[in-house]
Chains A and B, each alone.
Chain A
Amino acid sequence: MRHSIALTSALLLAVCVALAGCGRPSTNNAGSKSGMIQIKGSDTMVNLGQAWAEAYMRAHSTANVAVTGGGSGTGIAAIIQGTTDIAECSRPMKDKEIAQAKERGVNPVEHEVALDALSVIINPANPVGKLTIDQLSDIFTGKITNWKQIGGADEEIVLLSRDKNSGSHVFFLEHVVRRGNDKGPEEYVQSALMMPSSEAIAGQVATDKGAIGYVGLGYVDPKKHKAVAVAKTAAGPFIEPSIETAIDHTYPISRPLYWYTNGQPKDEVKSLLEFILSPEGQKIVDKLGFAPMKKA
């Protein structure tokens, strides 16, 4: 009897806590009233966001910045629902998403904060060194299943993709799998492994001879991965992903990385955004292996 009372009261307590949690109002706007700046979104950018936040907090002792990953889609959903101040995104917001935000009274404002070359990585033991967009599309749609079909060893290709909440997943789908036609009929083949993070892809490629995956430039480790040179057509030129080729856009799948705020940034958020776009903030971009904005 006593046991069940203790149990039920514990249950009741849990319910109360849960209800209290639900009642929390979402007061975020671009000015961050709470004194704590929330950054959420792209897994590609999570380390970059963390490094920016740490450097900013070192310079501003009263500032409080919290960074979480989860994927660009997660960040966009959070800014639409008003639960984050800044959404980090490795792809631009879609019209559909902007319309959804407007419906909820959120006005997403886009800021380009860095550049990235979305790098296609394979195991260093793999002799294949360059691929065209068409070949990559055939690989990720399952038309090419063995490395020997494209000049490699007789080894089954293990496809590593990011999951659907990832900006890289969507960017790669539209620009590589669908060859730039974002309404195209191609899809990732069902047998492609959906990895929960860039780190997981980088780790698998490092140990798996047949693997191929895509990650942000900052995740490429030349000791563990080989970044494939990519060309738009078989005629070339085949360009390797690097900071330089991302800045001059010669690498075919280079892309900007974004921050989204609700309305023009104010107060702390504005000061943080100014910091990351400053030469000091852009130096951090370079340090983490991504490409700084041209003007820096």
Chain B
Amino acid sequence: MMKAGLCNGSRKSLRRLVEPLIEKFVALNGALAILFVVLIMAFLLRDGLPVFRSVSVSKFLFGRDWYPLSDQFGALPLILGSVAVTLGAIVIAVPIGVAAAVYLAEIAPLRVREILKPTVEVLAGIPSVVIGFIGMVILAPWVKGAFDLPTGMTALTGSIMLAFMAMPTIISISEDAIVAVPRDYPTGALALGATSWQAIAGVTVPAAKSGIIAAVMLGIGRAIGETMTVLMVTGNAAVIPHSLLQPVRTMTATIAAEMGEVAQGTPHYYSLFAIGLVLFLMTFAINLIADLALQKTRVRR
């Protein structure tokens, strides 16, 4: 930019030529991202829809029996399994995550914050198979003993481990949202005689609400799509869950466990893609809500 003033005519025209090219290149890359999503969708539709030649849509979505080796494709236990594990994870991760974000943004002294923030980011980087291993070896026996269950491989075990994985997302995005609240808001509240807690709970957090909702939604997206950890700790029994204290089989674990075996072009193969389609639509809806919530924040400011 500094050099621009020194440029002679030919350089200026070169810049006029190059700049639009770069702009087009970047725009093209942006369009590519959309193209990929469309291609993934098209691919899932192409390989997922044929299953409905062998089973009706309602039998697939609401059927209770998942026995693909005997051509029974009822995905309801799998869908509910994913929902149960994810809801459990969110119930655990949201209060802790939001509280941690408030602490990081509002309360923690600078030095603590400088240690805690990178630590949270490290938590996000732990491979899911390691988290699954910890869940299998340490948490599952504990859950079994604590609730006096026949097995520790339960939805709850998966939820707790997934909560750990969703938390970094929730913490960092909520923290950004809280930091972005104008300082006048809490200081105004303090000037009016509110205690620090009243200022945080009554002013700052509500002002950052849409950002926090977006964080929660993205956390849900992270949890529902997670595969390895749930495959290792939830027991993978395809039953309709009545409580978090029983084994479940999630959509992701089903795809991961069964995809290696199926021959292409069989109903079982198509059914796994149809599950992928259901999963894609669910995460798409969740991300859409998160996006709308984030947009609301931006518009208001």
Contact = CB atoms under 8 A, between A and B. Distances in A.
Contacts of A191: 237, 239, 246-247
B235 interface: yes
Contact of A74 (B33, B66, B261): B261
A97 interface: yes
Given A165-B258, A193-B237, A194-B237, A97 B26 contact: no
Interface string A182-202: 000001001111111000100
A8 B262 contact: no
Given A12-B29, A194-B237, A80 B258 contact: no
Contacts of A157: 150
B56 to A, nearest CB: 21
A156 interface: yes
B102 interface: no
B15 to A, nearest CB: 15
B176 interface: no
B26 A8 contact: yes
B139 interface: no
B104 interface: no
Interface residues of A, number: 39
Interface residues of B, number: 35
B70 A163 contact: no
Given A74-B261, A77-B263, A190 B236 contact: no
B151 A74 contact: no
B263 A194 contact: no
Contact of A77 (B136, B150, B260): B260
A194 B236 contact: yes
A108 to B, nearest CB: 13
A178 to B, nearest CB: 10
B191 interface: no
Interface string A1-41: 10011001001100000000000000000000000000000
B68 interface: yes
Contacts of B136: 200
A204 B26 CA distance: 53
A165 B237 contact: no
Interface string A64-80: 00000011011011001
A163 B150 CA distance: 20
Interface in B66-120: 66-70, 77
B236 A81 contact: no
A193 B249 CA distance: 9
Interface centre among A4, A195, A200, A211 (most CB of B within 10 A): A195
B150 A11 contact: no
Contacts of B66: 190
B162 interface: no
A158 interface: yes
A11 B141 contact: no
Interface of B: 26, 29-30, 32-33, 65-70, 77, 136, 141, 144, 150-151, 153, 231-232, 235-239, 246-247, 249, 257-258, 260-264
Given A200-B136, A204-B153, 12 more contacts: A4-B29, A73-B262, A77-B263, A97-B263, A163-B258, A165-B257, A173-B69, A193-B235, A194-B249, A194-B257, A196-B232, A208-B151
9 contacts: A11-B32, A70-B260, A158-B151, A165-B258, A165-B261, A191-B247, A193-B151, A193-B153, A207-B141
